[in-house]
Amino acid sequence: MGTIQTIKGTKDILPQQITYWQYLEKTASEILSKACYQEIRTPIFEQTPLFERGIGEATDVVGKEMYSFVDQGEHSLTLRPEGTAGVVRAYIQNKLFALGGIQRLWYSGAMFRYERPQAGRQRQFHQIGLELLGSDSVRADVEVIAVATDILTTLGLKNLSLQLNSVGDQNDRETYRQALIDYLTPYKDDLDADSVDRLSRNPLRILDSKNPKTQEITVNAPSILDYLSNSSRQHFEGVCGLLTDLGIGYQLNPRLVRGLDYYTHTAFEIISSDLGAQATVCGGGRYDGLVSQLGGEKTSAIGWAMGMERLILLLEKLQALDDNSPDIYFVSRGEKAENQALIIAQKLRQNDWKVELDLSGSNFKKQFKRSDRSGAKMCLILGDSEVETNTIQLKDLITGEQQTLNQEKLVESLPSKK
């Protein structure tokens, strides 16, 4: 029998990678909190109809990527493929709208999609995302985009481009949808199979096709920007103008339609040129129809989600983060000394020192070797003679200097931390 391995498309995040994750989470949560977004945590699985209704049956996510199963009570449940539907369900169910005004929420966590695993694409992956509910203002669109770019630039990421489009309102989309079908139908025999399938179900998605021949055909397709009503156009121009005022550069991309059905008006993606094929690190847009579609009052809303694995890939290329070295490596030998060392180590930790206690019980020489390799700046040494005299040796691992200290006064006698 072989050993049991992770499920295809899932990965362990090991201690040597975790510093990047913690750095990302800390940076993002600080920026979100400055903009007054509050964290929300919703369950990892939900009733399947939430996603069918929320994301739309004609989308790739619902059509072929969902992890759905029937539980022992014969309910159809689904591991969440994205965060927005759950957050909107929570918003309605917990009457967060009753708190009045605008809700600014963020989340992070694991998402699940049955996809072909490759670099930057997994079956269990992680997103950090935000939702701003209750505003149809152009400023809301620009605020959420500004928070996203703030996070990415604070992380130190470069070579990013903001792609911007408007998918209009339901009416605009309906007229555009027909225009697109009319344009594409004569080329039906030359489209890839997926796109032919989408022609009737979800033609806007054809613009997103990665198939070169299909892409050639869609180059001259009508642009959705030519099908916007006056008010949709005004909203979009407002967004563009304010982004410029904030000094946030963007590229218009009329082919950007995004995968999910619930988007209206502003749609955007942030793309990295350092990632190869899976280049989108952040995707978002306005979804004014979703709350009512899920049974709530009509509520304007906008949000985005970032793929954390892709951000980690970029961070790893960018910089080596601080390692996890202890401040102090603690060696001890002899039964009394070893037990005493445990007590002292605990006291040091309570006083904010990061202490690695050598538990090997091996001779001092071997313990000193490990101490040198640990990356610590100091080493504490406790043996039988120190126990007898109530002292402890402190060795500075950078200068090699060693001094004898009183155990009781140890905390006060340690040099200050840099």
- List of residues contacting ligand ATP (CB under 6 A): 82, 113, 115, 120-122, 125, 127, 259, 278, 280-283, 305, 307, 309-310
Name the residue nearer to ligand ATP (CB basis): 86 or 259: 259
Q: Cβ of residue 335: shortest distance to ligand ATP, in angstroms?
A: 51
CB neighbours of 40 closer than 8 A, spacing ≥ 6? 87, 90, 105, 106, 107
Asked if 378 and 354 count as a contact pair (C-beta separation under 8 A), the reply is: no
Closest distance between ligand ATP and the C-beta of residue 245, in Å? 26
If the CB atoms of residues 239 and 270 are measured against ligand ATP, the closer one turns out to be 270
In the complex with ligand ATP, which residue's Cβ is closer, 83 or 289?
83
Phi–psi pair at 75, nearest 5 degrees: -95, 140
Q: Identity (one letter) of the amino acid at 173?
A: R
Report the residue count for the chain.
Answer: 418
Least separation in angstroms between CB 229 and ligand ATP: 25
* Number of Cβ atoms within 10 Å of the Cβ of 390: 10
Q: Which is nearer to ligand ATP, 90 or 257 (CB)?
A: 257
Cβ at position 56, least distance to ligand ATP in Å: 12
Strands across the sheet containing 67-70: 45-47, 76-79, 67-70
Nearer to ligand ATP, 55 or 217 (CB): 55
Closest approach, Cβ 113 to ligand ATP, in A, equals 5
CB of residue 201 to ligand ATP, shortest distance in Å: 17
* Closer of 284 and 296 to ligand ATP (Cβ): 284
Q: Which is nearer to ligand ATP, 89 or 113 (CB)?
A: 113
CB of 165 to ligand ATP, least distance (A): 13
Backbone φ/ψ region at 12: left (φ over 0), alpha (ψ -120 to 50), beta? beta
Minimum distance of ligand ATP from residue 140's CB (angstroms): 19
Closest residue to ligand ATP: CB criterion:
307
Output 280 or 407, the one with its CB closest to ligand ATP: 280
Which residue number, 79 or 381, has a Cβ lying nearer to ligand ATP?
79
Q: How far is the CB of 264 from ligand ATP (least distance, A)?
A: 15
